[in-house]
Amino acid sequence: MLSVVAAAVGMLFAASCADSGCKLEGVIGNLDGNPSVYVLAKVGEYGRDTVATAKTENGGFTLQLPDSLIGRVYELAVEGSRSTAQFVSERGTVRIEGELPDFYFARVSGGKENARINLMRDFNRDLNKRRHQAFVAKSGPSVMAALNDEYDRFLDSMTYADPTSIHALYTVLGPVTMYKIGKLDSLLAFFAPLAGHPYYNELKARADIVRSVSPGAIAPDFTARTPDGGTIRLSDLRGKYVLLDFWASWCVPCRAETVHTRKLYEAFHKSGLEVLSFSLDSKAEDWKRAIEEDEMVWLNASDLVGGKLSPVAQAYGIDGIPAIWLIDPDGRIIAEGLRGEKLYERCSELFGE
């Protein structure tokens, strides 16, 4: 059955590349003059690229997306407005009708993927209205929790309704950095009919990174600078348990976590625990000042590239800090994501204290 679905999707992709692309048209209310509209493609985590543009006339617009842009999720933006309308470039004609300033709730017609978008927008509009009513009525936290649960159930039902849905696959990429490897593998299996699509490749790339830093994997090796101008290599610490801690001087939760790290170091260093704190700072003076202020007397390292641009941070799939891994004497990861007392309890188990 899976091979049949995959074949059908392959035929769909092939047809989309062979025919006339996507004609995008629509009407936008409450325009001031004849502004331009822009088709925006997501690039990276926050970036947007303009892939097509057209001038409106009396609120209407028409533009043609080429075959190469078929089967993607885009946003339609209006010059001078921050509100955008999402659509999928399905082959044939896609029509968008909405009004400013609430262009997000524009209606989209043309294909099954855009029908999904309308369902999700209708649900979100209704849920937001009920959340507002609950807030005004000063309803208790249980009411808000119930509404949040309703949203989660709806999103799951939309996600797992169709393994060939490009929009569903695109949607799961939004919170992808929050997924553990089990969740990522289940999504890869479910959306297998879309294997080869850029969104599937993005999901797989994230899974490959998370898998490489999950318990059981050998921790990715790296060499970095030390505060005194030397270098340190993670693999040089083989033979000892290592607490690898990603932090930064500007990260308030990281600085608070240092208290727990010091407690761990004082309790277990003599038993064979090394602590290596890797800073995502970009300025050496900020990094060194924080080490002194927080009395971080253990091993410290950084590449001073800064934040997510750090190759080491990228190798470990860092999306937020503090981020902590516990590594055994063979260099194998035995735990990740533990903090505070839970991390202390795990170390107590390892060292029998």
pLDDT mean by block of 10 residues, the chain; 353 residues = 41 44 95 96 89 96 94 96 95 96 93 95 94 92 94 94 96 93 97 97 97 97 96 97 97 94 94 97 97 97 94 95 96 93 92 79
As a residue count, the chain comes to 353
CA angle 190, 191, 196 (to 5 degrees): 145
Q: Which residues have C-beta within 8 Å of that of residue 141, sequence separation ≥ 6?
A: none
Q: What is the pLDDT of residue 29?
A: 96
Quote the CA–CA distance of 75 and 87 in Å, as a whole number. Answer: 6
Q: E-strand spans in 149-203? A: none
Task: Report residue 349 CA to chain centroid gap.
Answer: 33
Q: What is the pLDDT of residue 353?
A: 64
**φ, ψ for residue 154, nearest 5 deg:** -65, -45
Q: What is the pLDDT of residue 1?
A: 40
Are 136 and 144 within 8 A, CB to CB? Answer: no
CATH number of 223-351: 3.40.30.10
Q: What is the pTM of this model?
A: 0.86
**φ, ψ for residue 130, nearest 5 deg:** -70, -35
Quote the CA–CA distance of 325 and 333 in Å, as a whole number. Answer: 7
Are 212 and 300 within 8 A, CB to CB? Answer: no
Domain with CATH 2.60.40.1120 in the chain: 9-110
Record: fold of 9-110: Immunoglobulin-like (2.60.40)
Strands 273-279 and 299-302: parallel
Domain with CATH 3.40.30.10 in the chain: 223-351
DSSP code, position 87:
E
Are 34 and 56 within 8 A, CB to CB? Answer: yes
